[in-house]
Every structure is written in C-alpha cells, then in structure tokens.
Amino acid sequence: MLLVGLSLSCEHTSPFRPDVYTPDGPLAPGAITRLTYNPGQDVEPTWSAGGDTIVYTAERLDRPDHDRCLAFMPGRGGSVAHYRCRTSAADDSLDVFEDATFGAGDSLAYMRASSNLALPPLAPETITLVAGTRSVWSLPFTATWGTTYDALSHVAWLGSTRVAAIGERVTFPRPCRTCAVDTVRTGLDVLILDFGGATTALTRLTGADSASSLAVSANRDTLYFTRDGDSRVYRHLLGGGQIDTLLDFGIGIARDIAVSSGKLVAVVGGAVSYSVDSILGGSQPDHGGALYLVSGGGAPAQIGDPAWLFRRPALSPDGTSMVVAARNGAATADIWLFQLP
C-alpha cells in the first residue's frame, strides 16, 4: 500500500492529499525525446534555474583521456553549446565532473575528481566540491563525529553559501575472482556545508542516517530524502521541523527523488539491492530502476518503458518536463526528455 502524507511544503501548487493509494499502471506522458547520442556515458542531468539549459555529465570519447565533463545544451534539446572540463585538451589525468546543480542566479556547484591515467587507482586521487568559483571541501574525510565519507552526491543549494549533499561510503567489490571490479556508492548521511565564513562548516541532519538521495523545495526551506533499502520518501522542514514520512511506494527501494511545482519523481525497484555487513555496514549496489511520477494529489504512476533502467531524474523548474539518464539494454546511458502531463 502507498500512504501519501501532507503536501510538498511551500510548492504552492496542488497538494498531495492524505489517502491510501496503490501504484497506477504505466503512464503515457507526452513526447519522449532522446537528447544524446554520445557512444560514451551521459548521466546525471539537471536544469538551470530558469529551465532554459540542461547540464549533464558526458564521457568524452573524442578525447584520448576520456574525461567526463559537464555538457551544456538548450533546455529543449539540441547540440551541446559548450563543455566544462579541467582542461580544454586531453592530458595525462582522468577528470570527472559530476553532480552539477544550479542555485540562484545560475550559480553552479559540482563534484570534481581526478586520477593519474598512467597508473589509475580504484578511487580518484582527489575529490573536491566546487561551488561557484570556490573549492569548498575535499574528500575523503572523517567528520568530527567519527564517520568517514568517501564521496558526496545529490548536491543541492540551500542558499547562496550553503549546500546539502549525501555523504557516501564507496566500496569496490569483485563479484567473482575473474569479474570486473564494481563501484558501489552507499549513502550514509545528509550533510550540510556552509561556506559563508573563512572556513567551511560541516553538520549532518539528525535522523537522516542511511540517506540515499535528496531534493530541496523551490524556496529552499524543506528537504526530501530517501534511505538505503527503504521504499519511503521522508521530509524535513529546515530550521527545526521534525522528520516525517511523505509517502511509501511499498513496491521496492526508492531513491533518486526530484521535486518541482507539485510533482515528485523517483526511481523505484529494478537493479538494486541492499545488504548489511557486520563490519562494513550497509551496501546498496544500484544500476537503475523503474520511474514513478506523483503529480499533485494523484496516485504514483509508472512512466517510461518498464524494461529500461533509469537513474537520476530531474524535473524542470515549472514541472512540465523531466530529463533522466536511461539504459535500454546498452552498456552506456543516454539522456532522455519527457514532456509531463
């Protein structure tokens, strides 16, 4: 069963009504358009604050170093206008720009990682959170409360000098002796970084342990998040509010949430699992899942091809469109644009 709580706070559109729902059948929204045809990976799309630009992480197979750069394209699709990379030409490092997010005035925050191509390690040699023109945090690190974080993801602006992110543990399991090494990123906490002072202040959201994804309301006063191995979406009013359950999909692990203009979208179930090791703790390998949309007070409905594996959907500021990375049997993902009902 699916329980829908109170409305998405301060979105000022049709609210979610308290009721008991079951998931609806596949939804046939308007046009679905493939935006990228890159033979490499295209992942983690997002929108500019005005909705006129889409930014995503693109693997540059046209460069010998195969850097993953931020690609900027028009909001309705088209040719890439420009890339943001560490260098304009290939060099002796593998650089990855990911988890881009826009704040007020189109301030851009993103994660930047780098490794030496000559002898690449399993984990990047340097990982940095960049906000605007500043490098505001380096990883890995151990927080004052004793938790070690290997990476950050789902970066979201809370103000002009404040961001939230999921702090993660990263492991590199090998499923069998001859298998390729996998990369598993498991959420640990919702972290808040305030870089308005001379040094960046780090705190964590109490009660959001094992958080796997997050989203922020349009006016930046409410956080929504999911948890490892959990089918529910949680909500927290910043500034002292309690954490409550917004909804429960009840049909699989929920993650990769996005919220905008009275709509909520999430990836649910699919190629994901959760287990707990007595020493290492929780682990959530994730290769994508089904896509579900909740619009206003309606029941959640599956959208998109149920055979595809979706990751990291992003709703446009006006809630009329969505971009998402998807794999439809190929080894690489592409970016797709949905026009929403």
For residue 211, give Cα distances in angstroms to 31, 95, 129, 187.
33, 27, 19, 5
Assign residue 319 a region (left: φ > 0; alpha: ψ between -120 and 50; beta: otherwise). left
- Which amino acid type is present at position 202? L
Choose the weakest-confidence range: 89-93, 98-102, 288-292. 89-93
209, HSE (Cβ side, Cα atoms, 13 Å): 6
Total Cβ atoms within 10 A of residue 187: 27
pLDDT band, residue 141 (cuts 50/70/90): very high
Q: What is the pLDDT of residue 277?
A: 87
Q: How many domains does the chain have?
A: 1
Residue 68 has pLDDT above 50, yes or no: yes
Residue 19 has pLDDT above 80, yes or no: no
Whole-number percent of the chain with pLDDT over 90 = 74
- Which amino acid type is present at position 230? D
SS3 content of the chain, % helix, strand, coil (to 5): 0, 55, 45
- Tell me the pLDDT tens digit for each residue of 300-329: 999 999 999 999 999 999 999 999 999 998
Helix residue ranges, H only, the chain: none
Q: How do 24-27 and 301-303 pair as beta strands?
A: parallel
Residue 26 has pLDDT above 80, yes or no: no
* Residue pair 340/329 in contact by the 8 Å Cβ criterion: no
Question: Domain range for residue 210?
Answer: 2-339
CA-closest candidate to residue 245, choices 16, 39, 10: 16
The enclosing domain of 58 has a CATH number of 2.120.10.30
Query: Measured between alpha carbons, how far is 302 from 230 in angstroms, rounded to an integer?
Result: 18
Report residue 78 as tokens. Answer: 């088209």
CA 71, 72, 75, 78 torsion-angle sign: negative
Model-wide pTM > 0.75:
yes
CA dihedral 203, 209, 210, 211 (to 10 degrees): -60
3-class SS at 191?
Answer: strand
Residue 297 has pLDDT above 60, yes or no: yes
Total Cβ atoms within 10 A of residue 172: 11
Query: Measured between alpha carbons, how far is 155 from 163 in angstroms, rounded to an integer?
Result: 7
Counting beta carbons within 10 angstroms of the beta carbon of residue 63, is it exposed (0 to 12), middle (13 to 18) or buried (19 or more)?
middle
